[in-house]
Amino acid sequence: MAETTELHARLMEDARNYDPAAHHRGLLAPYRDVLLAWRAKFMSYEQIAATLHSHGIKVSPAGVGVYCRGHFTKAEIERARREAREANRSAAPVRVSAATVPPASLRPAESTPNRRGPKIARDNY
């Protein structure tokens, strides 16, 4: 009986001294901006885990998913996607030369709104 109360006292002391922050490994925290950029580019958790593993960081796809869902909001990912699109547009302006533009006869016809397409011939009346 004395052993049980002594064990209980030691376990209770361990429970009081437990610091959850000390035991939670922040393995992915230094790479938060990288993970955000990858998620903004629609990279899957499996692809992210494989890429990190190739660089020597051992993490499971589930671990990547838990981190991303816990640290990124959908709005934050959408904002990163929008910023990446805007950066791509402003970084490389597209120049179109006359040689790359097909003649009008080869261009696809522009569709006009409110105009119905052709009727499909059917055998079942």
Q: For residue 25, which of 67, 61, 62 has the smallest C-alpha distance?
A: 67
Does pLDDT of 104 surpass 90? no
Examine residue 125 and state whether it is found in any structural domain, yes or no.
no
From residue 24, alpha-carbon distances to 18, 21, 55, 74 in Å are: 11, 5, 22, 24
Examine residue 80 and state whether it is found in any structural domain, yes or no.
yes
Examine residue 42 and state whether it is found in any structural domain, yes or no.
yes
User: In total, how many domains does the chain have?
Assistant: 1
Tens digit of each residue's pLDDT (9 = 90 or more) over 41-68: 999 999 999 999 999 999 999 999 999 9
Examine residue 8 and state whether it is found in any structural domain, yes or no.
no
What's the domain range around 53? Answer: 28-90
Average pLDDT of the chain is: 83
Output DSSP code: residue 27. Answer: S
Examine residue 14 and state whether it is found in any structural domain, yes or no.
no
pLDDT band at 117 (very low <50, low <70, confident <90, very high): confident
Percent of the chain with pLDDT over 90: 57
Output DSSP code: residue 3. Answer: H
Examine residue 10 and state whether it is found in any structural domain, yes or no.
no
Examine residue 122 and state whether it is found in any structural domain, yes or no.
no
Which residues, at least 6 apart from 57, have a Cβ–Cβ distance to it below 8 Å?
A: 27, 31
- What is the model's pTM? 0.55
Does pLDDT of 105 surpass 60? no
32 and 71 Cβ atoms separated by less than 8 Å? yes
Examine residue 81 and state whether it is found in any structural domain, yes or no.
yes
pLDDT band at 23 (very low <50, low <70, confident <90, very high): low
DSSP states of 87-122 as a string? Answer: HHHHHS-----TTTSPPTTTSPPPPPTT---PPPP-
